Amino acid sequence: MKKLLFIGLTLCTMSVFAQSGKDTIIENNQAYKYRLSFPAIILGNIGKGGERINTQHYELHIKQELDPKNIVGVKLATWRLFQPMGIQWWDGLLDKIDSETEFYPGYVRETGIGVSYQRMLWKGLFASVEVLPQYKTYLDLNNEKIANGFKLYTSYHIGYHFAFGKKKRFFVEPQIHGQNWMFDTNTPAAFKRLDNKWKSYFLFEPNLYVGIRF
């Protein structure tokens, strides 16, 4: 009888703790509906100042989980281009950076605020799309403004979400993406001659995003 009573009390206690643990997990998942992230590539820009090939790339994503599968967000980004973005890997992209043969006679500063949608497909696997209207500023090599323009930049991503930490608040998202720009206006002639030699898209760009849920 005592053994049965002991077993019964043990099972009840385990049940209470299991339910408590389950409630804690559910509560934690419900508590952290927002995400803040950035591409790790921007860390490589720190301390490089005005180097010719420094893209001065800075980017921040603020997202909200509508449910476990659907995540929407706002993207804030700015970067500086020193050559056309449409030069593909198989066109000798890295070689052209070394040779400087496709460098602009200055820079293009592109800045914008856009939106994103991320869909969780299976476990951590996800696909996402981002739309970023950009204001362009064309500069000469002395950073004097030449002209302004507009670009509509979109990107398409496939990646995997790895969460870690006690409450799974921190995460990294390695991914591959491609991008294209459907509208690109008011490009100065010297810049346009170079742009016209290449594509209006770029494929297979690897990236790693780092973030926190809150």
Query: Do 111 and 80 lie in a common domain?
Result: yes
Query: Do 23 and 125 lie in a common domain?
Result: no
pLDDT over threshold 90, residue 1: no
Query: Do 107 and 147 lie in a common domain?
Result: yes
Domain of residue 18 covers 1-31
Per this entry, what is the length of the chain?
214
Query: Do 27 and 46 lie in a common domain?
Result: no
**Residue 164: helix, strand or coil by DSSP?**
strand
Output the pLDDT for position 44: 81
Mean pLDDT of 59-78: 97
Buried b (16+ CB within 10 A) or exposed e, 144-163: eeeeebebbbbbebebebee
Query: Do 53 and 133 lie in a common domain?
Result: yes
Q: Looking at 84-139, which runs of residues are DSSP E strands?
A: 107-122, 125-139
Q: What percent of the chain has pLDDT over 90?
A: 79
Distances from the Cα of 110 to the Cα of 11, 82, 151, angstroms: 62, 11, 8
Query: Do 18 and 93 lie in a common domain?
Result: no
Which stretch of DSSP H or E encloses residue 66? none
| Alpha carbons 65 and 122: distance in angstroms, whole number | 16
* Residue pLDDT, tens place only, 127-139: 999 999 999 999 9
Output the pLDDT for position 32: 86
CATH number at residue 152: 2.40.160
Query: Do 83 and 11 lie in a common domain?
Result: no
| Alpha carbons 155 and 39: distance in angstroms, whole number | 14
Mean pLDDT of 67-83: 97
> How many domains, the chain?
2
| Alpha carbons 190 and 105: distance in angstroms, whole number | 7
| Alpha carbons 192 and 196: distance in angstroms, whole number | 6
| Alpha carbons 7 and 48: distance in angstroms, whole number | 67
* Residue pLDDT, tens place only, 169-201: 999 999 999 999 989 999 999 999 999 999 999
Query: Do 174 and 89 lie in a common domain?
Result: yes
* Residue pLDDT, tens place only, 98-114: 999 999 999 999 999 99
Query: Do 40 and 26 lie in a common domain?
Result: no
**Residue 63: helix, strand or coil by DSSP?**
strand
Query: Do 53 and 127 lie in a common domain?
Result: yes
Query: Do 16 and 96 lie in a common domain?
Result: no
| Alpha carbons 171 and 168: distance in angstroms, whole number | 7
Mean pLDDT of 54-77: 96
pTM over 0.85: no
Output the pLDDT for position 210: 98
pLDDT over threshold 70, residue 4: no
Query: Do 121 and 141 lie in a common domain?
Result: yes
| Alpha carbons 31 and 36: distance in angstroms, whole number | 15
